[in-house]
């Protein structure tokens, strides 16, 4: 078992397996209320402890000493979401160390935080030649994908070009995605789509916008 595998433990006998491939994994860090705090890459510090290297600006109060958090990442080798919890502490160089880290589960669930919303956009099935763009509705989004509604029928595995503007005054986006789930509703289809070939810059932009939307939602409550 690799070093990461030895550093992790669980409270029961359901061993999550070797996590030696954990280094470099993109993680989303949430507080105990389920609010997204920041996204980070996992790594090892000089003393062998686990650290988080933020790829979005952490949304925490100045002077924070430590936070109990939940974390979620994606194990590409196993094609599974990895769920964790622990205490994180900030440092002057911008990194965060993790203490009492536990892997609480692995499953085939979503590996990214999803923000509920309702925005308009357009979608174009790429295998259906001669089909023009169609209007669609996006009802939630994450850095990994989106849930999209529109009347035309598509198949699991089909690629789509999804266009939308995320957030007030946001830049227009055109993202390639693949259909992973199809649900038929009364007058339309609902598609669970996974983004493909998404650049780190776009991934960060989506995550940052989700955090801003979440902050605005709390402000209006």
Query: What is 8-26 written as a DSSP string?
Result: -B-SSS------GGGTT-E
Same domain flag for 88 and 157:
no
Opening angle at CA 90, ends 37 and 95, nearest 5: 85
The residue among 107, 135, 165 that closes a domain is 107
Distance CA 117, CA 213 (A): 9
Q: Is 154 part of any domain? A: yes
The residue among 107, 130, 165 that closes a domain is 107
Same domain flag for 125 and 88:
no
Give the long-range contacts of residues 89-93, CB within 8 A, separation 24 or more.
89/65, 90/58, 90/60, 90/64
The residue among 55, 80, 107 that closes a domain is 107
Q: Using an 8 Å Cβ cutoff, are 101 and 70 in contact?
A: no
- Binning pLDDT at 50, 70 and 90, where does residue 69 land? very high
Q: Is 212 part of any domain? A: yes
Q: Is 8 part of any domain? A: yes
**Interval 3-22: pLDDT, tens:** 344 344 444 434 434 445 56
Domain count, the chain: 2
Same domain flag for 122 and 212:
yes
Same domain flag for 84 and 21:
yes
Same domain flag for 119 and 95:
no
- Binning pLDDT at 50, 70 and 90, where does residue 218 land? low
Q: Which domain holds residue 160?
A: 115-216
What percent of the chain clears pLDDT 70, i.e. is strictly above it? 77
pLDDT at position 15, please?
43
Same domain flag for 14 and 65:
yes
CB-based burial label for 198 (10 Å; 0-12, 13-18, 19+): middle
CATH number at residue 127: 2.40.10.220
Question: Whole-model pTM?
Answer: 0.62
Q: What is the dihedral of CA 8, 101, 78, 176, to 10 degrees?
A: -150
Same domain flag for 149 and 196:
yes
- Mean pLDDT on 163-179: 85
Give Rg (Cα) of the chain.
19
Same domain flag for 167 and 135:
yes
Same domain flag for 36 and 88:
yes
- Mean pLDDT on 167-177: 82
Query: What is 149-190 written as a DSSP string?
Result: EESS---TT-EEEEEEE-STTPPEEEEEEEEEEEEE-SSSEE
């Amino acid at each position: 078992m690799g070093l990461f595998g030895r550093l992790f433990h669980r409270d029961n006998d359901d061993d999550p397996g070797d996590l030696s491939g954990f280094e470099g994994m993109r993680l989303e860090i949430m507080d105990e209320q389920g609010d997204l705090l920041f996204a980070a890459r996992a790594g090892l510090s000089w003393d062998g402890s686990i650290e988080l290297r933020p790829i979005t600006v952490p949304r925490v109060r100045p002077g924070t000493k430590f936070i109990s958090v939940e974390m979620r990442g994606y194990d590409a080798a196993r094609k599974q979401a990895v769920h964790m919890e622990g205490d994180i502490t900030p440092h002057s160089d911008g990194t965060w160390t993790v203490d009492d880290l536990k892997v609480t589960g692995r499953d085939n669930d979503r590996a990214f935080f999803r923000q509920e919303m309702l925005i308009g956009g357009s979608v174009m099935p790429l295998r259906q030649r001669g089909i023009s763009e169609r209007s669609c509705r996006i009802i939630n989004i994450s850095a990994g994908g989106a849930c999209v509604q529109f009347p035309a029928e598509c198949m699991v595995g089909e690629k789509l070009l999804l266009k939308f503007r995320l957030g007030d005054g946001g830049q227009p986006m055109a993202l390639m995605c693949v259909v992973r789930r199809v649900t038929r509703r009364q007058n339309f289809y609902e598609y669970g789509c996974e983004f493909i070939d998404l650049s780190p810059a776009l991934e960060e932009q989506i995550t940052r916008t989700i955090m801003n939307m979440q902050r605005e939602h709390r402000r209006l409550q």
